[in-house]
Amino acid sequence: MELKKTLTLAGSDSSGGAGIQADLKTFQEHGVYGMTALTSIVTMDPDHNWNHEVFPIDVNIVEKQLNTILSIGVDAMKTGMLGSVEIIELGAKKIDEHKLEYIVIDPVMVCKGEDEVLQPENTEAMRELLVPRATIVTPNLFEAWQLAKTGPIKTVDDIKEAAAKIHDLGAKNVVIKGGIGIEHDKAVDLFYDGKDFTLFKLDKLETTYNHGAGCTFAAAITANLAKGRSVKDSVEAAKQFVTAAIEHGWKMNQYVGPVMHGAYSEFIGSVKN
């Protein structure tokens, strides 16, 4: 099969578990060629409780990166942490100019362990400019609540309502990562394509070492879309991939434990084809 090319427009997680690092590792595992347009650099302070700081990249530099990558060609792209409103506007412009087909929007608003929204003004811009262009949006419960402007999402009915509202914003598909946050005896994620709600139910995992799970999930969807799989198949396969990665998450230090991006290939089987 011809080599497929993917782009991530996202931030750098210096600790390597999330952000573009997670995306590139996941693309590699899937046998697609990954390219990166860096939007921001995130550092964690070892002397202050691993406190995150976000340093946005100048929008002109982001544009130059995108020009490089888009001249090569892209089969599917994803967005992660977007450092500023200007970068979000730029992303939307480039999607339109290049008529990009498969767009995965992971509406990153907070990093795990941090409870305040990093850049609230970005949420509104993502809602207006990126969600309507999305093949699929992949919020966690908090991000879904912010995008749908509902309230805290606790039940299966709440999560369905939020998915429908995000679909109404113009996203073709929505997958909400409910995980253990939904009142249910299983961990539940919800997929909505505008017609049917599909609940993915998995046993609740014990691990707390799941840093980077969201980025890894969205990157796996992106790789699968690039390879021509349907949206629903891409989500299902990505779910298996990230579940293995979480099951093999590891303790990095007292603050964080990243997922193991290569776990599926190592312990279950190749996802290269």
Which residues sit at the interface with ligand PXL, rule CB under 6 A? Answer: 10-13, 18-19, 42, 80-81, 108, 111-112, 212, 214-215
Q: How far is the CB of 25 from ligand PXL (least distance, A)?
A: 13
Query: Which C-beta is closer to ligand PXL: that of 80 or that of 167?
Result: 80
Q: How far is the CB of 3 from ligand PXL (least distance, A)?
A: 26
Q: How far apart are CA 157 and CA 146, in angstroms?
A: 17
Token pair, residue 221, equals 């969807």
In the chain, the DSSP E strands lie at: 5-13, 33-45, 51-56, 76-79, 103-105, 136-137, 173-179, 187-192, 197-202
Q: How far apart are CA 146 and CA 143, in angstroms?
A: 5
Token pair, residue 152, equals 């805290």
Q: How far apart are CA 242 and CA 161, in angstroms?
A: 25
Query: Which C-beta is closer to ligand PXL: that of 18 or that of 104?
Result: 18
Q: How far apart are CA 264 and CA 43, in angstroms?
A: 28
Asked if residue 162 lies in contact with residue 178, where contact means CB atoms within 8 angstroms, the answer is: no
Q: How far is the CB of 35 from ligand PXL (least distance, A)?
A: 16
Closest CA to 54 of 92, 18, 91: 18
Q: How far is the CB of 94 from ligand PXL (least distance, A)?
A: 20
Closest CA to 6 of 109, 62, 79, 56: 79
Q: What is the DSSP string of 156-170?
A: HHHHHHHHHHHHHTT
Query: Which C-beta is closer to ligand PXL: that of 12 or that of 193?
Result: 12
Q: How far is the CB of 150 from ligand PXL (least distance, A)?
A: 22
Query: Which C-beta is closer to ligand PXL: that of 117 or that of 164?
Result: 117
Dihedral sign (CA 34, 40, 45, 50): negative
Q: How far is the CB of 139 from ligand PXL (least distance, A)?
A: 12
Q: How far apart are CA 188 and CA 34, in angstroms?
A: 29
Query: Which C-beta is closer to ligand PXL: that of 24 or that of 193?
Result: 24
Token pair, residue 140, equals 């966690």
Q: How far is the CB of 55 from ligand PXL (least distance, A)?
A: 11
Query: Which C-beta is closer to ligand PXL: that of 210 or that of 224?
Result: 210
Query: Which C-beta is closer to ligand PXL: that of 114 or that of 161?
Result: 114
